[in-house]
Amino acid sequence: MSDDEPDLELLSLLRKSLGLGPPDPSAPPETKVLQDAEFIYNNSIDVALDMRGTKNAAIAIWDQMQQREYSAKTWSDHELHPKSKDESAVNFIFTMDLLNFCFWSEKGREESFAIEWKGKRWTGYWSLVAALQRALDENIPITTPTFWSNEEECTEDLLRTVFRSATSEEIPLFSDRLACLREAGQILDEEFDGSVVALIEDAEHSAAGLVNLLAEHFPCFRDEHMFEGRKVRILKRAQIFVADLWAALEGEGWGEFGDIEKITMFADYRIPQILYSLGCLTYSPPLESRIRHLIPLESGHSWEVQLRGCSIWTIELIRREIIRLHPTATVNAILIDFFLYDFMKEVERDGEESIPHHRVRSVWY
């Protein structure tokens, strides 16, 4: 090789080290959610992370998780979640997370959308799960993917029956939920033989791989946004589908993932709210004023991206602190998220919220 000829092998190594080359097809899948969350945190000016508050929260969260014997099994213990570990449970979980977004209401608690089933009234996320269980009781195959794309059987009127409310308010973003069902049914039919199980098996027991498959093939799972000139991935519903599978099937069969630790927390309304309450997050005065006055943010707005990205990074730091203090602890971002969500619902029920949750009308969460 002459002095004038480039060293192609060295150039290839340099390009790869800088992330300029094509992806290595043999490399394990990565969602890039955590990396993007760190980028958001490093460039955030309206949401800040308090390190002392985060360390204190890690201690309190771990103590409470130990006292309550909190584990992945807690997920299945809830009366509304499926108890079987077969394909019907997989389809239920996929349907649930396909539609798991936007339940907040501008009305009071007694007037907001709610589902009555088996003598109880359910609101928020639980209203969705109750509606699905009620539909199955009424012999409506609401969790069957081939049903969603059959417009003669799965009509708009029938879906309004599925989600009929105990109040005068209908489920928020009804037309968007209908569109998600239609789209997912068509994609599953065309690309995965109409089977959620086939989709899962294509991921070959990789949590990150399944998240990426969902984001690649299903636009309604593609929770990506622009922030400071860069596309960032948050992927709340894609990640929670993997987490729910893992929890429901206790890490076995279709719920077995060799890289479950790559799943981050699920950036929604409630976790930022409780992280603020725990002293982990602080907001700029304009953002805090907007939240306290219940003024909705636009989906994809910088403030919203900062709230979600900084929450993901905060939960990661809490997880690391727990492991630092308790090296033998078995804990991941999924369990911390599940625990904090349940805890926040208790706080809400007792009327002890220190700040409202931020408001966005969005299919992403």
Q: In whole numbers, what is the pLDDT of the chain averaged over residues? A: 93
Q: Are 29 and 257 in contact (CB under 8 A)?
A: no
Using a pLDDT cut of 70, give the percent of the chain over it: 94
CA contacts within 13 A on the Cβ side of 297: 22
For 145-185, the pLDDT digits (tens) are: 999 999 999 999 999 999 999 999 999 999 999 999 999 99
Grade residue 23 by pLDDT with cuts at 50, 70 and 90.
low
> 143: how many CB neighbours lie within 10 A of its CB?
23
- Helix, strand, coil percentages (3-state) for the chain, rounded to 5, are 55, 5, 40
User: Does the annotation count 97 as an active-site position?
Assistant: no
CA contacts within 13 A on the Cβ side of 255: 23
Grade residue 348 by pLDDT with cuts at 50, 70 and 90.
confident
Q: What are phi and psi of 252, to 5 degrees?
A: -125, 160
CA–chain centroid gap for 308, Å, is: 11
Candidate list 268, 337, 342, 350, residue with the active-site label: 268
Q: Are 259 and 207 in contact (CB under 8 A)?
A: yes
The model's pTM: 0.89
Q: How far is CA 132 from CA 121, 237, 348, in A?
A: 14, 17, 24
